[in-house]
Amino acid sequence: MVEGIDLQRSFVELFSGLGIDPEVARVMWMPLPMLAVVTIATVGALAATWLERKISAAAQQRIGPEYAGPFGLAIPAADVVKLLIKQTVVPANADPLLFVLGPVIVFISVFLSFLVIPFGENLVISNVATGIFLVIAISSIAPIGLLMSGYSSNNKYSLLGGLRAAAQSISYEIPLALAALAVAMMSNGLSTVEIVEQQAGWGILSWNVWRQPIGFIIFIIAALAECERIPFDLPEAEEELVAGYQTEYSGVNFMLFYGASYANLFLSALLVAILYLGGWELPFPIDKVAELLNIAETNPIWQLIAAFLGVTVILLKAFAFIFLAILLRWTVPRVRIDQLLDLGWKFLLPIGFANLLLTAALKLAFPGAFGG
Amino acid sequence: MKLAQGVEIVSLLVLTVMVVAAALGVVLSPSIVYAAFLLGLVFLGIAGMYLMLNADFVAAAQVLIYVGAVNVLILFAIMLVNRRKVYREVKLGAVRQLVAITVCVSLFALLLYTNLNTVWLLTPEVKALPSVIVALGQHFFNEYLLPFELASVLLLVALIGAIILARREFIPDRQVENLELVERPKELIGVGEE
């Protein structure tokens, strides 16, 4: 395996060259990836809100935001400012500590998962061996935050909404994990980087979506339900529960919920891209192109171009999923809570198991094509 | 590696304080909901401890199972069963507490004794493992295959048993519904009299 771009090493070398202790340079490097992750997640979520507005408007044959900035691009920033300067109201007799802590837990559990999302060969914060398992484990903390905020609001509807949201989140986690497990089985590892590398080689032909079509569909449905997107937006369905667990929230606390939900959508989109659509791999094998053009793989300029293309491609794939999610919002009616739980437990779960068995059988039968 | 050691010691201290304080909170907090939330914090702290012991898979499994499943289940149970009950004074309450204190202190003494009299360092050098997943899978499917399969069958049996127990048998009672409106006949208002 050829070492690609290693930003940390270059950074440390640069500062060591300036006469700074390498240890100190490493400490100086530490906050940068964290900042980068928070920035990427935030910008992705803000872009998702803007897209939501624009595509919704197009679906309803209106224009959508256009005055704030070109094409209304400044609207997400305006949203943030508006929510920041709003007053934070804590209801009377509510539990103030849990009330504030609930949205924070939801927010952190989403943003923490971005640690293992790779945007390129070396553009990942920590390439841990338990990558995709870690994402699933961390996202299972979110229901505690939902329950906490539902309970502490001192409101029957919020409590019920919190319980419903947690129930939905738990019941769709299992099909999601089963779908991810089938992919992990094929790529002989849980690391997100390994999963993408296993899909390299033949360009679009070697993406997991062709080998895991059932798992792909299960994952998309479960991811939509995890993000509480229409048609599974029951926790905050306007007509039924008056915005569920977030009824009493205002100002910054509401922004945490809102931001976490869009960051979660962005995260799910990135996961779909990594697990099934080949991550940062282009639709054509880029190594072969390099060979054809007679460029060495260690050429720095070529590596820069390849990394840039990779980041662009993974973002394109992710935003294609977000586009799909927004289109679904305007084309599919909402389900009821009993239909939602039926779908999760009686339909997706057995199919997920069947898919897992099928993958195992195919892996034993065709070890070449299914990662033996 | 001065930096790494410093980080290790600081995280160990933070995790220890977090786990002990949260565990004390679980026991001493008068509010049962607070106790349940603090239990989640204890589990998270334990997961952090596993991470420091180089057991990344166990740490993630701890978060997934204990924080994500067990603790949420406990919270559900607490929030759905909301019965306020006034506790009566227990006779011989002091004796009870004395017994509890004795048991706790002796248990602590036993643990302390074990801790101080065991040679913990099995190998003189500590190697950083790449990851435990491969080794774990090999053990599961070689020598521990039978216990593993037995445990999964047991869990399946428990799951199906729980579903059978939870499923309510609907006994249809054939009561003919009275569709008439229950309404008192109104007295007519006299019009045009006097």
Neighbours of A131 (CB within 10 A): 25
Q: Which tops the pLDDT comparison, B84 or B67?
A: B67
Rounded distance between C-alpha atoms, residue A143 and residue A141, angstroms: 6
Residue A241 pLDDT > 60: no
pLDDT reported for residue A1: 35
CA distances to A42, B70, B111 from B115, rounded to whole Å, are 47, 29, 6
Of residues A150, A121, A311, A27, the one with CA closest to residue B76: A150
The pTM for the full model equals 0.86
B contact test, residue of A136, A139, A144 with most B CBs within 10 A: A144
User: What mean pLDDT do residues B113-142 have?
Assistant: 78
Residue B126 pLDDT level (bands cut at 50, 70, 90): low
Cβ neighbors of A245 (< 8 A, separation 6 or more) are A102, A146, A149, A150, A153, A158, A161, A162, A165, A235
Kindly list the residues from chain B whose CB atom is less than 8 angstroms away from the CB atom of residue A143. 68, 72
**Phi-psi sector, A264: left (phi>0), alpha (psi -120 to 50), beta:** alpha
The angle formed by the CA atoms of residues A150, A152 and A158, to the nearest 5 degrees, is: 30
Burial (CB count within 10 angstroms: exposed 0-12, middle 13-18, buried 19+), residue B27: exposed
Residue A177 pLDDT > 60: yes
Closest-CA distance of chain A to residue B57, Å: 6
Rounded distance between C-alpha atoms, residue A76 and residue A340, angstroms: 31
Map residue A164 onto helix, strand or coil: helix
State the number of CA atoms in the 13 A half-sphere of A14 facing the CB. 8
Residue A243 pLDDT level (bands cut at 50, 70, 90): low
Residue B130 pLDDT level (bands cut at 50, 70, 90): low
pLDDT reported for residue A240: 58
Given CA atoms A31, A37, A40, A44 in this order, what sign does their dihedral have? negative
Low-confidence winner among A245-254, A267-276, A315-324 (lowest mean pLDDT): A245-254
Q: Using the beta-carbon criterion (under 8 Å), do A130 and B130 form an inter-chain contact?
A: no
pLDDT reported for residue B181: 67
Residue B133 pLDDT > 50: yes
Looking at chain A, the whole-number percentage of residues with pLDDT higher than 90 is 36
User: What mean pLDDT do residues B156-170 have?
Assistant: 81
Rounded distance between C-alpha atoms, residue B169 and residue B165, angstroms: 10
Residue A201 pLDDT > 70: yes
ipTM: 0.84
B contact test, residue of A24, A151, A245, A345 with most B CBs within 10 A: A151
Q: Which residue of A has its CA nearest to B57?
A: A130
Q: Using the beta-carbon criterion (under 8 Å), do A23 and B63 form an inter-chain contact?
A: no
A273-326 confidence digits (pLDDT tens): 999 998 888 888 877 787 888 777 777 788 888 888 889 999 999 999 999 999
Residue B193 pLDDT > 60: no
Residue B45 contacts A where some CB pair is shorter than 8 Å? no
Closest-CA distance of chain A to residue B60, Å: 6
Residue B24 pLDDT > 60: yes
The helix, strand and coil proportions of chain B, stated in percent and rounded to the nearest 5, come to 65, 0, 35
The angle formed by the CA atoms of residues A142, A147 and A148, to the nearest 5 degrees, is: 95
Residue pair A363/A372 in contact by the 8 Å Cβ criterion: yes
Q: Using the beta-carbon criterion (under 8 Å), do B71 and A144 form an inter-chain contact?
A: yes
A134-164 confidence digits (pLDDT tens): 999 999 999 999 999 988 888 888 888 888 8
Residue B23 contacts A where some CB pair is shorter than 8 Å? no
Residue A103 pLDDT level (bands cut at 50, 70, 90): very high
Q: Using the beta-carbon criterion (under 8 Å), do A129 and B64 form an inter-chain contact?
A: no
Q: Which residue of B has its CA nearest to A156?
A: B79
Residue A144 contacts B where some CB pair is shorter than 8 Å? yes
Q: Using the beta-carbon criterion (under 8 Å), do A159 and B130 form an inter-chain contact?
A: no
Looking at chain B, the whole-number percentage of residues with pLDDT higher than 70 is 78
Residue pair A4/A120 in contact by the 8 Å Cβ criterion: yes
Residue B125 pLDDT level (bands cut at 50, 70, 90): low
Kindly list the residues from chain B whose CB atom is less than 8 angstroms away from the CB atom of residue A167. 76
Rounded distance between C-alpha atoms, residue A151 and residue A169, angstroms: 17
Kindly list the residues from chain B whose CB atom is less than 8 angstroms away from the CB atom of residue A134. 60
Kindly list the residues from chain A whose CB atom is less than 8 angstroms away from the CB atom of residue B57. 129-130, 133
Low-confidence winner among A43-57, A174-188, A242-256 (lowest mean pLDDT): A242-256
Please tell me which of the candidates B40, B56, B64 has its beta carbon nearest to residue A144: B40
Q: Using the beta-carbon criterion (under 8 Å), do A144 and B37 form an inter-chain contact?
A: yes
Listed ranges A84-98, A234-248, B99-113; the one with the highest mean pLDDT: B99-113
User: What mean pLDDT do residues A208-217 have?
Assistant: 91
Rounded distance between C-alpha atoms, residue A352 and residue A354, angstroms: 5
Residue A2 pLDDT level (bands cut at 50, 70, 90): very low
